[in-house]
A and B are shown apart, each in its own frame.
Chain A
Amino acid sequence: MGSFSAFSLLRHAIGGNRHWQRHWRAASPKPSYDVIVVGGGGHGLATAFYLAENHGIRNVAVIEKGYIGGGNVGRNTTVIRSNYLLDGNTQFYEFSMKLWEGLSAALNFNVMFSQRGQIVTAHSADQMDAFSHRANIMRLNGIDAEILGRDEVRRLVPYLDFSDTARFPIHGAILQGRAGTARHDAVAWGYARAASGHGVDIIENCEVIDFLRKGDRIVGVETTRGRIGAERVGLAVAGHTSVLSRKAGLELPIESHVLQAFVTEPVKPLVDHVVAYGADHFYVSQSDKGGLVFGGNLDGYNSYAQRGNAGVLQEVCEAAVALMPNISRLRLLRHWGGIMDMTPDASPIISLTPVPGLYLNGGWCYGGFKATPASGWCFAHMLATGEVHPLTRGYGLDRFRTGHTLDEAGAGPFAWLQ
């Protein structure tokens, strides 16, 4: 497979880039593994990598029904931040941020992590108070956060609407300078390549259709490519968590909803940060190719269809133009949807389950890309040791019974409103 270095890039460039090899082995299923991870998205691949890297468990398979990068890991808008309010979330996402900061080196693959900073605009004195509260929590946890006044925001992002006619005038903003974006495909490919390099089998075009049982214990999976045994099975199937869990007899507090993303035609460099509109739901960054990548709300009703409806497109574009009137004439190049596994508190689930042999990683909602490294790290810990990683103590399934939900938005148990 070879490793990447300035020298290898140069050598391949001289050779016309004709001699690159596959970056992970196209594995066929073995009869059994120590651990099977179902779902070859970011979380499944990261889990497999850290099982091998941190715990020396290499007899591992990642089973993916489609192709690597075809799920949400390749559909998201790539925003990475660690500006969470609630204990449990704050520390977990900051741990993830630290892993992002070393990820390209750890994987020997450039995930193009760009800490361009995220600015969330504030549109009232009350919102400035709320942002100060958030910034204080972040700082108390050693996370960078700055509160900006209107003039400072204007200096950084002069293209926002600072006119007298702005629908919601900008009062200020909160800035996390270490936040940013990464190349989503590269994250999937980088983890797949590094895991495969450690001996992990990455099995694509193989759908898990049921579980193998011995008594009430799960001892493997039934797939479209035959039965495969495993000591432990970890689920990381994002939007299909309910579908597979039901086959294991597990009932979950999850609903699947579609979230859309949009990209404009490419333009010259305009948006240097990730900018989020504090008065409505719209956020934007600019890709290296020049397209403005943006998103907003969920479509708002249960869906397993990986496509969105035009009503949300209109709402998001209205919010976009309210904040950035200068993009009103840009044309939309593409838009698409992904299926979110929404929980009633919009926080994830990394949990032991009542079913012996089965471990659950899901409920990532619309914010799971940034969590990929930490999620893989902590889920690998659980699969290797059978214990909950200290950073994910708040993410157990039982929190919905005990009342210890982590509801950042305070939206209540309505998945489609989170």
Chain B
Amino acid sequence: MLRIHCPCCGPRDHDEFRYAGDASVVRPAHDDPDFEAWYRYVYVRANPKGLHREYWQHVHGCRQWLVVERDTATHTIHSVHFAGQQAS
């Protein structure tokens, strides 16, 4: 079990959260006609073996969206922020 330190609720088991994937992908603007940008947004993933910035939503807690920085090889969590505060 991962233990995620929610900045709002404190340390909680990860099954209180919903995973929502890579937080480093950039969503193109709605009116962006660039096919390549949309293709990359929907499909291309860096999939690092190592540090990965990823979204988790605390659905069974404060319902905030978080950005968690986690090592995919060891599961060590390096940082947790509110997604809204994340400077990307």
Contact = CB atoms under 8 A, between A and B. Distances in A.
B44 interface: yes
A255 B72 CA distance: 11
B75 A305 contact: yes
B45 A416 contact: no
A301 B43 contact: no
A253 interface: yes
Contacts of A243: 47, 49
Contacts of A256: 47, 49, 72
A251 B14 contact: no
B47 A310 contact: no
B43 A302 contact: no
Contact of B39 (A252, A254, A304, A401): A401
B82 interface: no
A302 B2 contact: no
Q: In which size bucket is the chain A interface?
A: 20 to 34
Given A305-B75, A311-B14, A416-B21, A242 B45 contact: yes
Contacts of B72: 256, 302-305
A311 B19 contact: no
A303 B21 CA distance: 12
Interface in B17-75: 19, 21-22, 35, 39-40, 42-49, 52, 54, 70, 72-75
A414 interface: yes
Given A304-B72, A305-B75, A309-B1, A255 B47 contact: yes
A240 B49 CA distance: 9
Given A256-B49, A413-B42, A300 B74 contact: no
A411 to B, nearest CB: 13
Nearest to B43: A253
Interface string A304-342: 110001110000000000000000000000000000000
Nearest to B47: A242
A89 to B, nearest CB: 19
Nearest to A412: B42
A303 B42 contact: no
A344 interface: yes
A400 interface: yes
B14 A302 contact: no
Contact of B74 (A302, A305, A344): A305
Contacts of A300: 19
Nearest to A307: B75
B73 A305 contact: yes
Interface in A387-418: 400-401, 413-416
Contacts of A305: 72-75
Contacts of B48: 242
B55 to A, nearest CB: 10
Contacts of A415: 21, 45
Contacts of B49: 240, 242-243, 256, 304
Contacts of B75: 303, 305
Interface string A246-279: 1000011111100000000000000000000000
Given A253-B43, A302-B52, A309-B14, 15 more contacts: A242-B45, A251-B44, A254-B45, A255-B47, A301-B2, A301-B70, A302-B21, A302-B22, A305-B75, A311-B15, A344-B43, A400-B39, A401-B35, A415-B21, A416-B21
Interface of B: 1-2, 13-15, 19, 21-22, 35, 39-40, 42-49, 52, 54, 70, 72-75
- Smallest CB-CB A-B distances: 9 pairs: A242-B47, A253-B43, A304-B49, A311-B15, A301-B19, A304-B73, A400-B43, A251-B44, A304-B72
12 contacts: A242-B47, A255-B45, A256-B49, A302-B21, A302-B22, A303-B72, A304-B72, A305-B72, A309-B2, A344-B42, A344-B43, A413-B42
